[in-house]
Amino acid sequence: MSEFRFSHRLKVRYSEIDGQKIVFNSHYLTYIDVAVTEYFQQLLRHDEEFDFVLAKSTIEYKRSAYLNDWLTIWCRMDRVGNKSMTMNFMITKEDELDPVLLADIVYVSVDHKTMMPCPVPDFVRERIEEFELEYK
């Protein structure tokens, strides 16, 4: 976890578990989405326009999470390209080091109005580099 600068905590709710009483797999993407939103809210001001969409997700499920578990979603920007960004995620249970899940997600920067791919804005790139490099 030392390579992750940002994290967000949340508690597993009843509606997120399945018949096996474990977190249903699709909810992990929601957890990641919540965390990445918090990541960018910390880096950017509310008046700055920046939109992105998920282009690819690679998820490796390691073990299960259960009702009322406190989870920490760890986020790190791995790479910022011209129009895309790759983020690494790890989800752990409270006070545990072994991951519940590992994920690599590619996001594409899109124009706020047309929703078409566009270059990652310089101010976004600069904030990410400052935030991530400051930690290394």
User: How is 1-34 classified by DSSP, letter by letter?
Assistant: -TT--EEEEEE--GGGB-TTSBB-THHHHHHHHH
**Residue-level length of the chain:** 136
Residue 84: DSSP 8-state: E
Per DSSP, which regions of the chain are E strands? Answer: 6-11, 51-61, 70-80, 84-93, 99-110
Q: How far apart are CA 107 and CA 55, in angstroms?
A: 5
Residue-range domain boundaries for the chain: 6-135
The C-alpha angle with vertex 104 and arms to 23 and 86, in degrees rounded to 5, equals 140
Q: Tell me the CA distances in angstroms from 98 to 20, 23, 57, 85, 101, one per residue in order.
A: 21, 17, 21, 26, 9
Residue 133 has pLDDT above 80, yes or no: no
- Taking only the tens place, the pLDDT of each residue in 54-88 is 999 999 999 999 999 999 999 999 999 999 999 99
Find, among 72, 64, 100, 59, the residue nearest to 11 by Cα. Answer: 72
Task: Give me the phi and psi of 32, to 5 degrees please.
Answer: -65, -40
The CATH label, of 1.10.3860.10, 3.40.50.620, 3.10.129.10, 3.20.20.70, for the domain at 6-135 is 3.10.129.10
- Taking only the tens place, the pLDDT of each residue in 10-45 is 999 999 999 999 999 999 999 999 999 999 999 998
Give the per-residue pLDDT at 135: 57
